[in-house]
Structure 1
Amino acid sequence: MHTRSDSRTPVAEWLAGAHADPPTAHHDWQARNLTVLPLGVLFDTVRIPAEVLHAAILHVRPAGMSRLLEQLLGGPVVQDADRWFYPLVPVGRADRRQPGAARYLGRGAWLGVPQVDRIAPPGAYWAVPVRAPGRLCDPARVDELVAVGTARLAGRS
């Protein structure tokens, strides 16, 4: 469910602040439930293949995934269909190397960011919503989750 006021919450205002023209971000959310934001302004991200994340978090039902991801990572995560997870991390982490198929993305990259209350498919949605402006995932925890998932996948080969 979406209402016109959903795109004007403090969280939405904060996210829109990453856009060169914040009103365009709000318009995109209203028109398409998604806007594209530049990384390296308010946050960076890590693109994690779904199979890596699922390997790290074994035997969790989809309904419990959001709760567990929030507990493990401490911040918001965008999910793009069933293929990718994008935990938002502090700016400046994109220069880090990640093992396996996960990849840090920062300045010069863009991320499709769903409307703040979009918490289910279809399309991109918040696997873990933004709880407060500026609250991001702990990069060390993201690294650990990716390392565990990558190791488990390698062990299955």
Structure 2
Amino acid sequence: MSRASTISQAATAEWLARTHADPPTAHQEWQDQRLTVLPLGVRFDAVRIPVETLYAAILNIRPAAVSRLLEQLLGGPVVQDADRWFYPLVPVGPAARWHSRAAEYLGQGAWLGVPQADQLAPPGAYWVVPVREPGRLCDLARVDELVAVGTARLSGRS
């Protein structure tokens, strides 16, 4: 691993850990179990998208292709958990603008299992699209469009 990569992962881990009420606890949980649970509504929110909806939207299920496409389409980090859900991380606050029934907006009061910064593959939760720059998040309008396309394809409307 290069020094730049190490610095980037360290900066990412610190940025994520500062979401936790006790950042050292987050670091310890990542060390012990490669996952910590972070509160939403502090630095970021998330949208929980069923894998079927997302795969229908991008017409692909190959992990490398999914990662590349999501990075291009959404512009920010995405967690996958238990092969059932994708969680694009989005800016805090716009929950009132979320109207999709096919995916759930998770904001203040919700929690998300967040993998260690270098957890880029299963088992367990992992970064489909890792944090490339602390604070850079997915565009909520693009997430909404992705969900709408996937929902339309699943219902046969596209």
Task: Give the TM-score normalised by structure 2.
Answer: 0.91
**How far apart, in 2, do the equivalents of 1:144 and 1:57 lie?**
11
Q: Distance in 2 between matches of 1:26 and 1:115?
A: 9
Deviations 1:14-40 (A, max 9, x none): 000100000000000000000000000
Which residue of structure 1 aligns with residue 156 of structure 2? Answer: 155
Counterpart of 2:139 in structure 1 is 138
- Which residue identity does 1:151 align to in structure 2? A
Cα root mean square deviation, aligned: 1.9
Q: Secondary structure at the match of 1:116?
A: coil
Q: Percent identity?
A: 76
Structure 1 stretch 119-128 or stretch 59-68: which is displaced more?
59-68
Cα 1:76–1:51 change in 2 (3 A) is same
2:156 and 2:11 map into 1 onto residues whose CA distance is 44
- Give the Cα–Cα distance (whole angstroms) in 2 for the partners of residues 148 and 8 of structure 1: 33
Q: Secondary structure at the match of 1:85?
A: strand
Residue 81 of structure 1 and its aligned partner are, at CA, apart by: 1.9
Cα distance in 2 for residues equivalent to 1:19 and 1:34: 13
Query: Deviation string for 1:37-81 (max 9, x for gaps)?
Result: 000000000000000000001145222110110000000000002
Determine the structure 1 residue equivalent to 2:101: 100
Structure 1's 101 and 15: CA in aligned 2 closer, same or farther, altered over 3 A?
Answer: same
Corresponding residue for 2:35? 34
Gaps of at least 5 residues in structure 2 are none
Counterpart for residue 73 of structure 2? 72
Contact 2:80–2:87 (CA under 8 A) maintained in structure 1 = yes
TM-score, with length taken from structure 1: 0.92
- From the superposition, tell whether residues 126 and 34 of structure 1 become closer, same or farther in structure 2 (CA, over 3 Å): same
The aligned length equals 153
Q: Deviations over 1:109-149 (max 9, x none)?
A: 00000000000000000000000110100001000000000
Cα distance in 2, alignment partners of residues 126 and 27 from structure 1: 19
Alignment correspondent of 2:17: 16
